[in-house]
A and B are shown apart, each in its own frame.
Chain A
Amino acid sequence: MLHGEAAKLEKDEAIALKTKIGLILFGVYSLIYTGFIVINTLTPRAMGAQVFLGLNLAVVYGFGLIFLAIIMGVVYNHVCTKLEDKMNKPSAPGDKESNKTEVGK
């Protein structure tokens, strides 16, 4: 016997597109994070170079990774919300209920 979700979820036509966007953003962030690890590991002294407002590369890159995660998250949510609203729009008033998936015990 399979289980169901804690809450009933609406059908989502945007899943495939959202997944694709998520994977692209994940790939971009992973590359930048990898670059951070590579510099830290292979040329750690390069991290001491001053690059911005008297701060060194280590601090700027570190802060950058944190801010980038926040910015990418906000952009991702904005795009996904738009896609959901557009692709899950009920064809006629009252159709929304019929889109609900009955999953559960």
Chain B
Amino acid sequence: MIYSVSPLAIILFVIFVLFVLGISFYFANKTKSSAGYYAAGGTIHWAVNGVAFAGDYLSAASFLGICGMIAFSGYDGFLYSIGYLAGWVVALFVVAEPLKRMGKYTFADALDSTFNSKGIQLAAAVSTLIVSICYLIPQMVGAGDLVTPLLGMPHWVGVILVGGIVIFIVATAGMTSTTYVQFIKGGLLIIFSTILTFYLIGNGLAKKPSPNYHEFKSIPAVVSGGSVTAIDSPDYKLAGEFEKKGLRFVKLEKAGINSWWKLNGKDDAFTLEEVLSKTVAADGATLYNGEPQKAGKFYQVGHIAKLVKDGQEVDKVEGLDPFSYISTIEKSEIVSFVQLPVPIEDGGDLVTVWYQKTTPGNAIMRPGLKFKVDTGATPWSKLNFISLMLALFFGTAALPHILIRYYTVPSARDARKSTIVAIAAIGFFYILTLYMGLGAMTNGVLDVESSNMSAPLLAKYFGVGLFSIISAIAFATVLGTVSGLIVASSGAVAHDLMDRFFNLKLTDKGKVKAGKIAAVFVGAVAIVLGILFKGMNVSFLVGWAFSVAASANLPAILMLLFWKKTTAKGIAYSILVGIVSSLTIILLSPEMYEKYGVDPATAPIPLSNPGIISIPLSFLTLIVVSLLTKKKETANAVKK
């Protein structure tokens, strides 16, 4: 952590939380029926619902994750924005109106509308829970990431705080309070992201982003016999040399403080280039660039090495418009800081280093930095990319917490209109993510330890006031999305499982009570998982939720709508196969192997995004099982 707590941010955050709790109290007395609790009585205006859709959908992954990914990986992060938005086309043109006509409270209702099948009720409820949990994890991780700079508390406190507030919101007034929290949050997020982008473009681009931006030093070095033997600086003394992953790093000592440098060059011209380092000693003590954290030596980074405007190299460019802002970056060269994948072992110390890497703007503004589709690409890596884009496209219309919002409006026409409002609001926001991400990349604000903090830290560049507002909104972003996810999950447990699958014959009041208890339980699970998954990029994890949703739910929805031979068993089995296959591929993926502490190269499946296998598999299962069970189900229907 390299930033200090802002009192204004705390005040804004407390005001927002009190406001949200006030809304929940206000609606609590009005939410007595199950229709009110699970679907806000189906009375929400389409425009409010549309913005609430945006508030629901623009999660921590969208705001924190995508901006962070663009800031660290350029255009590849923006591909998430494009994929997430494109998915709404499926929702609008194919799913919105039929789902509204078929369902009541949950996505399972719609699938089961013509069958009354225990298999569908169980499979759809399980799918809702798994997808929602997958989606909940990154939201909670994002909450923990935010609360550290905002309130100066540890990550786990942030997770518990968000979990507690959201449980309260949902357990008091269900979908009604959730809708208005999402509406306010969605509106604020778009307004203040626009303001931030306006500031950013107006500020222009400069090689030195701010007067106090740290100038990373270079020291000429003499290399003899493959080792550094002397350096051209009287202040520093050589204290060690290490090789890791084909790169050479040198430890220098000055006035009792160690610093780390990367050896660059060849033949007779060598230089040592200053890097960022974090040293964890055997006793757990942590030093940032050789000093304790409070010394403030762990700098925020990211700057332009070569700024080109109209073919001329310049130090600063002003008066840019939204197009020339991007085109100027395309023609310039950017310095980012890349983490060495494995720490350097220095005696008993583990040293993580981030070294400078200069990348041409035209490489940043096209695919290839994160996704292996260009240099170093393999057929598997390309397939992995296609698989991700497929899951993003088909995942949106299969997310249970999004689908339940179709039941909060009075009519199918309203469902359609609210989807269009959502597309406009979300699409506009996603365009802003490109600017915010690039702004964070070039304005010396990045915290190399947390890509998720890129957007709030960019806001801090323009003043503590904007930082406080953006941080409070980012926190609200998490609250809004988590509320929606917990409503969806509690509906799956109380309505789909307890009321319909187990046929507990709950009274209307009992259904509301069961929903509230389920909300508390799911919220507690989300808290635990949010703490366990600390440190992962939130957008990356949401990609998994989309994969599971696209694999488990979308084939069932589409085939139910457009293939008359679809049977209840076909739907149930396709959901289960979609869940199992997508989760299996994810759990055996190189990314998860890395998480387990095992060499990613030994992962049995080289795909991290399962959609390209699991989506067709789920479709195939539905077709085969439906054809095999068609006659039996028809006969049973005739007997009844």
Contacts and interface: CB of A to CB of B under 8 A. Distances in A.
Interface of A: 1-7, 9-10, 12, 15, 18-19, 22-23, 25-26, 29-30, 33, 36-37, 40-42, 44-45, 47-48, 50, 53-56, 58-59, 62-63, 65-67, 69-70, 72-74, 76-77, 80-81, 84
Interface stretch (B34-42, B280-288, B343-351, B630-638): B34-42
Contacts of A22: 92-94, 97
B318 to A, nearest CB: 17
B407 interface: yes
B413 interface: yes
Contacts of B109: 3
Interface string B422-434: 0110010011001
Contact of B113 (A2, A73, A74): A2
A67 B81 CA distance: 13
A71 to B, nearest CB: 10
Contacts of B434: 59, 62
Interface residues of B, number: 68
Q: What 10 A-B pairs are tightest by C-beta distance, nearest first?
A: A54-B327, A7-B42, A22-B93, A6-B42, A26-B93, A6-B39, A48-B366, A47-B366, A73-B420, A66-B427
Contacts of A33: 86, 89, 393
A44 B366 CA distance: 7
Contacts of A9: 100-101, 411-412
B354 interface: no
Contacts of A44: 366-368, 373-374
Interface stretch (B6-14, B16-24, B244-252, B382-390): B382-390
B104 interface: yes
24 contacts: A2-B113, A5-B101, A7-B41, A7-B410, A12-B412, A25-B93, A26-B94, A30-B393, A33-B86, A36-B82, A41-B382, A48-B363, A48-B365, A53-B323, A58-B365, A58-B367, A59-B75, A63-B431, A67-B427, A69-B85, A69-B89, A70-B423, A76-B93, A80-B413
A69 B86 contact: yes
Contacts of A54: 323-324, 326-327, 330
A25 B93 CA distance: 7
B430 A66 contact: yes
A73 B373 contact: no
A45 B360 CA distance: 13
A45 B104 contact: no
B184 to A, nearest CB: 23
Contact of B97 (A18, A25, A53): A18
Nearest to A3: B104
Contacts of B104: 3-6
B223 interface: no
A26 B420 contact: no
A45 B374 contact: yes
What secondary structure prevails in chain B residues at the interface with A?
helix
A94 B488 CA distance: 39
Highest count of chain B CB atoms <10 Å: which of A6, A18, A19: A6
Interface in B296-331: 323-324, 326-327, 330
Contacts of A74: 420
Interface of B: 35, 38-39, 41-43, 75, 78-79, 81-82, 85-86, 88-90, 92-94, 97-98, 100-105, 109, 113-114, 116, 323-324, 326-327, 330, 362-363, 365-368, 373-374, 382, 385-386, 389-390, 393, 407-413, 416-417, 419-420, 423-424, 427, 430-431, 434, 500
Highest count of chain B CB atoms <10 Å: which of A5, A26, A56: A5
Contact of B326 (A10, A30, A55, A76): A55
Contacts of B410: 7
A19 B393 CA distance: 19
Contacts of A53: 323-324, 327
B69 to A, nearest CB: 14
A90 to B, nearest CB: 16
B330 A76 contact: no
Contacts of B386: 37, 41
A58 B366 contact: yes
B427 A70 contact: yes
B82 A62 contact: yes
Highest count of chain A CB atoms <10 Å: which of B88, B330, B500: B330
A18 B93 CA distance: 9
Contacts of B431: 63, 66
A37 B389 contact: yes
B413 to A, nearest CB: 6
A87 to B, nearest CB: 13
